[in-house]
Structure formats: C-alpha cells, structure tokens
Amino acid sequence: MKQFKATTILGVIKDGEAALGGDGQVTLGSTVMKHNAAKIRRLADGSALCGFAGASADAFTLMERFEDKLEQYRGNIQRAAVELAKDWRTDKYLRRLEAMLAIVAKDEALLVSGNGDVIEPTDRIVAIGSGGMYALAAAKMLLKYSDLSAAEIVREALTTASEICVYTNDQIVVETL
C-alpha cells in the first residue's frame, strides 16, 4: 500500500463513539505550505466521517464520489466503499488519483485505497498518511492501557505522531460521532 508524505489521519471507534482526526500540515515536497488545513469531512448527513491523505484535488474528487455512492446505496458505508474502490481500480481517470480515504461511522472503520482495497480493521482503528503508522501504534496502546475516550485517543495518538513524523504537525482537528 502506497504511503503518502502529506498528512496523518487516524480514526478510532470505542464505546459507541467514533472519532476521526487529522493534522493540519500541507506539504509540497519538503516545504510546509499550510499549517491548519481541515482534512476531515462529515458525510451522509453527518452519519460518517471521512479523512484523506495524498493529493488534495484527488482526495476531494474521491470524497465526492464516495458521497455519491453513499447516496446511491442509501447510507450503506461498506457497500459505498466497495463500489468506490471498484470504480477507482477500473476507471481510466480515477485510476490515476493518488490519495487514500479513512472512513468511520458509529460501528465501522474503513480504509479505501486506489489499489482496490477496502479494509475494515478488526480493532476498529484506521490510520493513513505518512505518520499513520506512528499514530496507529500509539492508538493501539492507548486503547489497550487507558480509559481515554475515542476522541482523546485520536488526539493523543496524533500528537505522538506529530513529534515523530516531519510531515505531521500538532494542529490537530478531531471530529466525533
């Protein structure tokens, strides 16, 4: 799976709460261009959260397509994600898009990639972007050894990633369901 050096997005579902967060850094090559970008969007009348890593224009295109699929499949997040991944893999235009999506709802967390992957992690933690694996490791430990809420875990894990990954900053936005 291709990792993008652009951001860090982390989603956690715990005790009926879904949280998705991201840092605010926008990087062009090795230059920081923006510190407070919003990379998390509410979709499906607020019943799902979607975050992106990769090329911004590509990610916005994919989020729009995902939202169309959500509408087409009446809010069925998993079906919409699978159909998006199929289109993304087979469509000549979409195939060139370089981004990944992390999606959370009250009871499911999904990662969608241009390779045709729709992954639903068993621990209901999803992470993408250059600092994704740092945030994922921190979230796993916090989930296991703390009493923090899903939103608190996301914020703390992203803070940890920002201290390690040069493509991740501490301007963190967390949304919850």
Catalytic residues: 7
Q: What is the DSSP string of 61-85?
A: HHHHHHHHHHHHTTT-HHHHHHHHH
Structure tokens at 156: 């703390």
Report the C-alpha gap between 155 and 137 in whole angstroms: 13
Report the C-alpha gap between 158 and 33 in whole angstroms: 20
Helix (H, G, I), strand (E, B) or coil at 8: strand
Amino acid residing at 141? M
The CA-based angle 20-156-122, given to 5 degrees, is: 50
Q: Please state the φ and ψ torsions of residue 99, each to the nearest 5 degrees.
A: -165, 170
